[in-house]
Amino acid sequence: MPITEVDKIWMNGELVDWHEAKVHVLSHGLHYGSGVFEGIRAYATARGPAVWHLDAHLDRMFASGSIYHMELPYSKTELIQATKDVIRANAMDSCYIRPIAFRGYGEMGVNPLAAPVDVAIAVWPWGAYLGEDALEQGARVKISSWKRHDQNSLPSAAKATGGYLGSILAKVEAVKGGYDEAILLNHEGRIAEGSGENIFVVDRGTLVTPPTSVGALAGITRNAVIALATDLGYEVIERDLVRTDLYLADEVFFTGTAAEITPIREVDDRTIGVGHRGPVTKELQDAFFAATKGDDPRYADWLTYVDD
Ligand code: PMP
């Protein structure tokens, strides 16, 4: 997906011109994947742009850093301010937000500990990740031949740049096969997640999602959907799923910052439920988008307003 360029990027404490936000070709992170990052969205509300779950995203970024012995040279308060500043500097109403902290230039070799930690936050407009159409019609997905990496190879609690190589293999295999997205099993054959999304099934009115121990990222949208569904009166269970649980589900959907709530209409060429967005998925999307727009006061503290 081509990036829509805007004016400024926040980089190491300053707002720099978009094309000046550069790194050296010998940056450690480029060679060894030693970076941690987040994907966040800001939504348009009646009170201007508001960042969805900014606190939780930054907490996860600090947690990802700590797993890799990477201390971020900015506090959470500073990164909250930086996020607001870069949104304001680009006059965005709504946008995708990409903070990244990575081992920079100055050291080579696998040991990253002496390399500097660079931090940047970029924003740009980004629509529906799997296409506007998919939000209603649903995505066509394929179980990948690539497995989700084991917790003791690459911990799924860290959202780290290097960890996405597995997602890349799975995504490219799916796209080249004519599908929209991949679902990865773990090494025990349990459903883990999509290449950049968590997964839910609706089984006779109950929502089921795999526990993060299968190797799925603890998605912030996943948590929000669990809370919204519970408040709507649904039972939500975390339990292991195998591929046939997807084939036979009433509804299946992805959750993620980029994908938001995207229905899945086909898995491995088998039609799921009615073959497009089901009623539970629709109800959850409506609740989700009402909350992101600031229209539901119950979830007011999930939003950080840029102009407070
Ligand atoms: N799993 C993976 C592998 C992801 O990259 C993402 C996107 N960050 C998710 C799940 C969904 O997480 P979130 O809802 O926090 O965006």
Plot region of 269 (φ>0 → left; ψ -120 to 50 → alpha; else → beta): left
CATH number of the CATH domain containing 55: 3.30.470.10
Q: What pLDDT is attached to residue 308? A: 79
Which residue's C-alpha comes closest to atom 5 of ligand 1? 196
**Does one domain contain both 232 and 183?**
yes
Which residue's C-alpha comes closest to atom 11 of ligand 1? 256
Can you spell out the DSSP letters for 236-286?
EEE----HHHHHT-SEEEEEETTTEEEEEEEETTEE-TTSS--HHHHHHHH
Q: How far apart are CA 299 and CA 295, in angstroms?
A: 9
Single residue among 124, 150, 183 that ends a domain in this structure: 124
Residue 2 belongs to some domain of the structure = no
> What digits encode the pLDDT tens for the residues 129-170?
888 899 999 999 999 999 999 999 999 999 999 999 999 999
Q: Which atom of ligand 1 is nearest to the CA of 156?
A: 3
> What digits encode the pLDDT tens for the residues 115-129?
999 999 999 999 888
Calculate how far, in angstroms, residue 126's C-alpha sits from the geometric centre of ligand 1: 16
By C-alpha distance, which of 113, 98, 97, 120 is closest to 32?
113
Calculate how far, in angstroms, residue 156's C-alpha sits from the geometric centre of ligand 1: 10
Ligand 1 near 257 CB (within 6 A):
yes
Calculate how far, in angstroms, residue 98's C-alpha sits from the geometric centre of ligand 1: 13
Ligand 1 near 156 CB (within 6 A):
no
Q: Kindly report the number of other CB atoms within 10 A of residue 119's CB atom.
A: 22
Q: Which atom of ligand 1 is nearest to the CA of 56?
A: 15
Q: What pLDDT is attached to residue 130? A: 86
Residue span of the structural domain in which 96 resides? 8-124
Ligand 1 near 220 CB (within 6 A):
yes
Confidence of residue 1 (pLDDT cuts 50, 70, 90): confident
Calculate how far, in angstroms, residue 106's C-alpha sits from the geometric centre of ligand 1: 31
Look at the chain and count its residues: 308
Ligand 1 near 158 CB (within 6 A):
no
Single residue among 124, 143, 167 that ends a domain in this structure: 124
Query: How much of the chain, in percent, has pLDDT values that exceed 70?
Result: 100
Q: What pLDDT is attached to residue 112? A: 97
> What digits encode the pLDDT tens for the residues 189-242?
999 999 999 999 999 999 999 999 999 999 999 999 999 999 999 999 999 999
Calculate how far, in angstroms, residue 24's C-alpha sits from the geometric centre of ligand 1: 28
Calculate how far, in angstroms, residue 221's C-alpha sits from the geometric centre of ligand 1: 8
**Does one domain contain both 184 and 256?**
yes
What is the pTM for the complete model shown?
0.97
Q: Which atom of ligand 1 is nearest to the CA of 193?
A: 1
Ligand 1 near 219 CB (within 6 A):
yes
pLDDT average, residue stretch 84-98: 98
Adjacent-strand bridge partners of 249 = none
**Does one domain contain both 89 and 15?**
yes
Ligand 1 near 198 CB (within 6 A):
yes
Question: If you average pLDDT over every residue of the chain, what do you get?
Answer: 97
Confidence of residue 285 (pLDDT cuts 50, 70, 90): very high
Q: How far apart are CA 202 and CA 272, in angstroms?
A: 11
pLDDT average, residue stretch 285-300: 98
Q: What pLDDT is attached to residue 131? A: 85
Ligand 1 near 161 CB (within 6 A):
no
Cα dihedral 115/158/44/92 (nearest 10): 20
**Does one domain contain both 154 and 243?**
yes
Ligand 1 near 104 CB (within 6 A):
no
Single residue among 124, 142, 170 that ends a domain in this structure: 124
Query: How much of the chain, in percent, has pLDDT values that exceed 90?
Result: 97
How many domains, the chain?
Answer: 2
pLDDT average, residue stretch 265-287: 97
Q: Which atom of ligand 1 is nearest to the CA of 60?
A: 15
**Does one domain contain both 190 and 142?**
yes
**Does one domain contain both 100 and 229?**
no
Catalytic residues: 159
pLDDT average, residue stretch 50-57: 98
Q: Which atom of ligand 1 is nearest to the CA of 257?
A: 16
pLDDT average, residue stretch 280-304: 98
